[in-house]
Amino acid sequence: MSSSSRALSEESVVRAILESVEVKTELAKRQGSIITQVAGLLVGTFRLGGKVVFFGNGGSAADAQHVAGELVGRFLMKREALPAIALTTDTSILTSIGNDVSFDDVFARQVHALVQPGDVAVGISTSGTSINVINGLIAARQRRGTTVGFTGRSGGKLRDVADHVLCVPSDSTPRIQEAHITVWHAICEVVERELFGHDA
């Protein structure tokens, strides 16, 4: 690789990282109160014996699994497991609903089976327009659960079906996804501290 190519590659990498930092900084300034509300919602839900279900498509499906894993397993502390489920992991359920019902209902059907009053449903869609995520949140409301949406700048239709909405101030899918997982790590840290104290 030539020196000019190396310089160009480094410039692109640094620019992407700085863009990510800028988006997260703006998000923290604008929506710190919403993030705190969501953290408090999860703390209250777990204290009352409720659970949280997560769902999304593609990279957002990976985020759903990631966060559920942090809560069921551990984040920073050795502590009791917390009840969290990613609705993106059971291939038999996903493919049977997708084939026999509709992919648009792949999360809604699971929500109807699993969500009870007092539970929390988290739908993640960077565009805010994913029909199966929107339908999942609508189903959660029907089940008298509390709904949380994680999305991008516009919020799309997700904004209308979630009780709490975090809109990352960006239109770039990678930047939105990076901000989402940063926020979830912050929430996991708060949840652990509030439920289990400061000792790791």
Q: pLDDT tens for residues 94-118?
A: 999 999 999 999 999 999 999 999 9
What are the φ/ψ torsions at residue 119 (nearest 5 degrees)? -75, 170
pLDDT in tens, 129-154: 999 999 999 999 999 999 999 999 99
Q: What is the pLDDT of residue 200?
A: 44
Domain that holds residue 7: 3-196
Percent of the chain exceeding pLDDT 70 equals 95
Residue showing tokens 């009870």: 116
**Rounded to whole angstroms, how far apart are CA atoms 66 and 196?**
21
Give the number of C-alpha atoms closer than 13 A to the C-alpha of residue 159, restricted to the C-beta side: 9
**Rounded to whole angstroms, how far apart are CA atoms 65 and 145?**
20
**Rounded to whole angstroms, how far apart are CA atoms 162 and 122?**
9
> Both tokens of residue 178?
């990076």
Number of domains comprising the chain: 1
CATH number at residue 84: 3.40.50.10490
Average pLDDT over residues 53-82: 97
Under 8 Å between Cβ of 32 and 26: no
Average pLDDT over residues 167-192: 98
Q: Amino acid letter at 108?
A: A
